[in-house]
A and B are shown apart, each in its own frame.
Chain A
Amino acid sequence: MLFKLAWRNLWRNRRRTFITMGSVLLAASIAIFMRSIQEGTYENMIRNMVQFHTGYIQVHQKGFWDEQTLDHSFEDNPLIHKAVADEQHISAMVPRVETFALASSGPVSKFSMVVGMDPEEESKLTGLENKMVKGSYLTKDSRGILVAEGLAKKLNLDVGDDLILLGQGYHAATAYGLYPIEGIVHYGSPDLNTRLIFMTISEAQVYTRADNRLTAFALNLSNPQRMDQVVKNLQTKIDTSEYEVMDWVDMAPELSQFVESDRAGGILVMGILYMIIAFGMFGTVLMMVAERQYEFGVLVAIGMKRSRLAFIMLIETVTMSILGVLAGAFISLPFVIYFHYFPIQFGEEFAKAYEEFGIEAVIPTMIDPGIFVNQAFVILIFALIVSIYPMWKIWRMEPIQAMRG
């Protein structure tokens, strides 16, 4: 009976209902879109760094991370393979020999990071082969190297040219060599794009004179949310007096700190947005109550219980809010999906500033059902809080005065 009344009330004045629903809809879709952009930007930054390069977790010789030299390398150990194989959520593990080197074309020299890797396995982890923009990808027997686009540009070298590498090898050996460039790879992260050089692991071991030694195993996760648990499990299974197991938060603290602090700032902005949204919703409800003063007065005067009337009002606002939130989520979905695949690109000037901070100059969205549910929920709560007003108004209404208007 009461539900029927509420439903009829809603349809009695469609325009009013749609305006109220519209304000909820707008609020919900803006909130969802904002959050998706925020989280999408973080996700992109982390992916650029983590999925495309470091992996979520790495295993090194103990002490490697503090002093990243070949002297902290280790020989491949079946126990590590076993520990990793036993663990769920790990989707890939690749061996690496990583070392800093001076990359030189002769006249121009730049500081670089040489990554010795297994071409086939590495591509499974980071999709390295998909990052090729020129030349051919390495095979197991390649003697050549892949150079990141930005670095090649700085050195003024191209596919087919030779590159000189000079650095520190294993146990104070001097590492140097001349390598033909077989391909150019592109990285979104400007930092990686101006630093990375790839060669096969065996070539890197010859270069650094670290026979059969590795500096790291990089691990990727099928479910990144389980990272902490996986790290903990690995730490119990792998001898931590000899090896260290680190996640990307430990390896790139500046990145995770940036995301954390920016997220905190984002919450503040969202708070302000919520306030604006709430007042917008409150405004429409205020209008509605003023409009229906007479109606309420009549109903109470002819014996309608105030509690019942208030309950009808509650049903009305909840219905409008839920419909508004659903419609809002529905409308924002195509936008979120579109900007996920076609992220907003910055203008050239802006892009440069961004790249100087080592951030790729795009704003993609993140498609996360969690964001939809959370934001819809927050907006719904606002709608309910706002609906207290008409109920309160009904409660202390004087029917005579209300009817006089």
Chain B
Amino acid sequence: MKTFKIILQSIVLVFLLGSTNIWAQDAKEIIHEAEKRQRGVKSMEADVTMTIVRPSWQREMSMTLWSEGTEYSLIVVKTPARDKGMANLKRGKEVWTWMPRIERSIKLPPSMMSQSWMGSDFTNDDLVREFSLTNDYDHTLLGEEVVEGRACWKIELIPTEDAAVVWGKVLLWIDKAEYLTMKGEYYDEDDELVNVMQGSEVKEMDGRLFVTKMTISPVDKEGHQTIMQFTKVKFDLDIPDTYFTVQYMKRIRG
């Protein structure tokens, strides 16, 4: 009788452990797939309109963005006229700013990384921060939810102990059909919700499905929002390496 009980307990235990394992594996694979598809984009050229929304005013900027892998990117402001030609270059962990009116460029020091990027709800750090959603986090599948009319997995990401990430917890909603990231909730170490990222307007751009509108809302600042709208996207172009240099940044005029 006693042996039977132990056997029964073991079976239950194995089943329970097994099941969580299977779920965890799934969650990790979903994130991995989503990340792979995003990073599968070798290079990209995009026209983006950024709208900064504040309680009493808002401001719109348009810019062109080039990127190659996760290492290099270049963003050049086109409008408004007074900021035309301003550029940000990311090379690995470095960010350079080109100031056309005074024809000077400077590399942003670490003290500037936590500052707002161009007055938006993004920080300079958001542009350069490099981490792997697959390797730097432990994943749990929390369930399924519909976001913007698309069936999504809801996945919880908790950073692993030695991961150098800023968030204490991240919730991601990944589209089941195309592995698009539709929504993200970013929590600090005290489990307080800090930022909400909402994707919408999934469209086919240059042969791929793409979330063309992203809205970032800081939770503790009511009426604050930054909206990124992608108006034109091209994938996998041959962008010469010289694009992502300080010298080139000085030459382009928006």
Contact surface of A with B, Cβ cutoff 8 Å: 71, 102, 104, 106, 109-111, 164, 166, 168-169, 171-174, 176-178, 209
B 14-39 binary contact with A (CB < 8 Å = 1; else 0): 00000000000000000000000000
- From known contacts A106-B104, A171-B57, infer whether A176 and B115 are also in contact, taking CB-CB under 8 Å: no
Residue B7 lies at the interface, judged by CB distance under 8 Å to chain A: no
The residues of B that contact A164 with a CB separation of less than 8 Å are 99, 102, 104, 106
Determine whether the beta carbon of B106 is less than 8 Å from that of A166. yes
B 66-98 binary contact with A (CB < 8 Å = 1; else 0): 000000000000000011001000000000010
The residues of A that contact B49 with a CB separation of less than 8 Å are none
Contact surface of B with A, Cβ cutoff 8 Å: 52, 54, 57, 59, 82-83, 86, 97, 99, 101-102, 104, 106-109, 111-112, 115-116, 118-120
Q: Which residue of A lies closest to B80 (CB)?
A: A173
Determine whether the beta carbon of A172 is less than 8 Å from that of B52. yes
Docked CA distance A95–B57 (Å): 25
In the complex, how many residue pairs between chain A and chain B have their CB atoms under 8 Å apart? Answer: 55
A297 to nearest B CB, angstroms? 79
A68 to nearest B CB, angstroms? 13
Q: What are 11 A-B pairs with beta-carbon distances under 8 A? A: A102-B109, A102-B112, A109-B106, A168-B116, A169-B119, A171-B54, A172-B119, A173-B82, A173-B119, A177-B102, A178-B104
The residues of A that contact B115 with a CB separation of less than 8 Å are 168
A304 to nearest B CB, angstroms? 80
A84 to nearest B CB, angstroms? 27
The residues of B that contact A176 with a CB separation of less than 8 Å are 99, 101-102
Determine whether the beta carbon of A102 is less than 8 Å from that of B108. yes
The residues of A that contact B82 with a CB separation of less than 8 Å are 173, 209
Most interface-central of A106, A111, A166, A169 (chain B CB within 10 A) = A166
> Out of B109, B116, B118, which one reaches A109, CB within 8 Å?
B109
Docked CA distance A390–B111 (Å): 70
Docked CA distance A106–B109 (Å): 11
Most interface-central of B104, B107, B120 (chain A CB within 10 A) = B104
A370 to nearest B CB, angstroms? 44
Determine whether the beta carbon of B99 is less than 8 Å from that of A166. yes
> Out of B106, B111, B112, B118, which one reaches A174, CB within 8 Å?
B118
Determine whether the beta carbon of A109 is less than 8 Å from that of B108. yes
The residues of A that contact B120 with a CB separation of less than 8 Å are 172
Q: Which residue of A lies closest to B61 (CB)?
A: A172
The residues of A that contact B57 with a CB separation of less than 8 Å are 171
Determine whether the beta carbon of A109 is less than 8 Å from that of B107. yes
The residues of A that contact B109 with a CB separation of less than 8 Å are 102, 109-111
Determine whether the beta carbon of B104 is less than 8 Å from that of A174. no
A113 to nearest B CB, angstroms? 13
Given contacts A169-B119, A172-B59, A209-B82, 16 further A-B contacts (CB under 8 A): A102-B108, A102-B112, A106-B104, A106-B106, A110-B109, A111-B109, A166-B99, A166-B106, A168-B119, A171-B54, A172-B120, A173-B59, A173-B83, A173-B119, A176-B99, A177-B101
> Out of B86, B102, B112, which one reaches A111, CB within 8 Å?
B112
Docked CA distance A110–B111 (Å): 8
The residues of B that contact A173 with a CB separation of less than 8 Å are 59, 82-83, 119
Docked CA distance A283–B52 (Å): 78
Determine whether the beta carbon of A111 is less than 8 Å from that of B111. yes
A151 to nearest B CB, angstroms? 14
Docked CA distance A111–B108 (Å): 10
Determine whether the beta carbon of B119 is less than 8 Å from that of A178. no
The residues of A that contact B83 with a CB separation of less than 8 Å are 173-174
Determine whether the beta carbon of A174 is less than 8 Å from that of B108. no
Q: Which residue of B lies closest to A109 (CB)?
A: B109
A157 to nearest B CB, angstroms? 14
B77 to nearest A CB, angstroms? 8
A173 to nearest B CB, angstroms? 7
The residues of B that contact A171 with a CB separation of less than 8 Å are 54, 57, 59, 119
Determine whether the beta carbon of A166 is less than 8 Å from that of B97. yes
Docked CA distance A176–B77 (Å): 15
Docked CA distance A245–B182 (Å): 45
B65 to nearest A CB, angstroms? 17
The residues of A that contact B54 with a CB separation of less than 8 Å are 71, 171-172
B187 to nearest A CB, angstroms? 22
The residues of B that contact A109 with a CB separation of less than 8 Å are 106-109, 112
Q: Which residue of B lies closest to A172 (CB)?
A: B119
- From known contacts A164-B99, A166-B97, A174-B83, infer whether A102 and B106 are also in contact, taking CB-CB under 8 Å: yes
Q: Which residue of A lies closest to B106 (CB)?
A: A104
Docked CA distance A283–B249 (Å): 84
The residues of A that contact B101 with a CB separation of less than 8 Å are 176-177
Docked CA distance A209–B101 (Å): 14
The residues of B that contact A71 with a CB separation of less than 8 Å are 54
The residues of B that contact A168 with a CB separation of less than 8 Å are 115-116, 119
The residues of A that contact B108 with a CB separation of less than 8 Å are 102, 109
Docked CA distance A178–B109 (Å): 18
B103 to nearest A CB, angstroms? 9
Q: Which residue of A lies closest to B104 (CB)?
A: A164
Docked CA distance A178–B106 (Å): 12
